[in-house]
Amino acid sequence: MKKQFAVIGLGRFGGSICKELNDQGMEVLAIDINEDKVNEYASVATHAVMADTTDENTLRSLGIRNFDHVIVAIGDNIQSSILTTLMLVELGLPHITVKAQNDYHEKVLLKIGAHKVVHPERDMGIRIAHNIVSKNVLDYLELSDEYSIVELMAGQRVDGRSLIDLDIRAKFGCNIMAVKREEYIDVSPAPDQNIKKGDILIVIGADKDITRMEQALF
């Protein structure tokens, strides 16, 4: 059976989640308190309804309990976001993802039982900053405060050298998870394989180790 998703709040963030889930062939219920938003998403989502999700009876009557995953994308109205999340937790929803507006909001959401809190503006800012600071960093995924996965573009300094030769794991304590060359991705790079300028190395490690490696080799 298809997974059932509900998106509450059809701003730019909730709206784009809605569109993408629909494009991926998922069933999506789109909910907003604003009638114009509901009309806008009527043709995008499987169903679109106007409702105030801070009202428990309204949530019940929507049959929200039967959904696999609910995304709360109410941004500016922190009170509504918190109340909605609390209702969903109390109804026992198995997966609740909530967009947080700031660190305090995030803290409250986690305390009341949200399963995952996202912070799209902050996270995108961090990723873009990494991209801007180093022209070799193509993408960046924060795993924790200290660990990340980054995509680095191989330059002149590593051209024609192997992983053994570069001795990356021993010298820098990070691991090359995969090497991308044009369309091809090698997810288990051989230690004796030569890297070519323009290859994209996907590196996992502590931020400080990745930075050391980046400065030495990229």
Q: Which residues bind ligand ATP (CB under 6 A)?
A: 8-14, 31-34, 37, 52-54, 73-77, 80, 163-164, 167-170, 175-176, 189, 191
Ramachandran angles phi, psi of 115, nearest 5° = -80, -35
Q: How far apart are CA 28 and CA 5, in angstroms?
A: 5
Judged by beta carbon distances under 5 to 8 A according to partner kind, the member of Ca ion, ligand ATP, none in contact with residue 130 is: none
Nearer to ligand ATP, 2 or 217 (CB): 217
Nearer to ligand ATP, 79 or 144 (CB): 79
Nearer to Ca ion, 75 or 205 (CB): 75
Judged by beta carbon distances under 5 to 8 A according to partner kind, the member of ligand ATP, Ca ion, none in contact with residue 127 is: none
Tokens at 32, concatenated: 């907003």
From first CA to last CA, the distance across the chain in angstroms is 48
User: What's the closest the beta carbon of residue 217 comes to ligand ATP, in angstroms?
Assistant: 11
Judged by beta carbon distances under 5 to 8 A according to partner kind, the member of ligand ATP, Ca ion, none in contact with residue 17 is: none
Q: How far apart are CA 51 and CA 70, in angstroms?
A: 15
Please give the residue ranges that form the binding site for Ca ion (CB under 5 A): 75
User: What's the closest the beta carbon of residue 58 comes to ligand ATP, in angstroms?
Assistant: 9
Residues with Cβ within 8 Å of residue 196, at least 6 apart in sequence:
154, 159, 160, 181
C-alpha count within 13 angstroms, C-beta hemisphere, residue 12:
3
Q: How far apart are CA 153 and CA 169, in angstroms?
A: 18
User: What's the closest the beta carbon of residue 195 comes to ligand ATP, in angstroms?
Assistant: 11
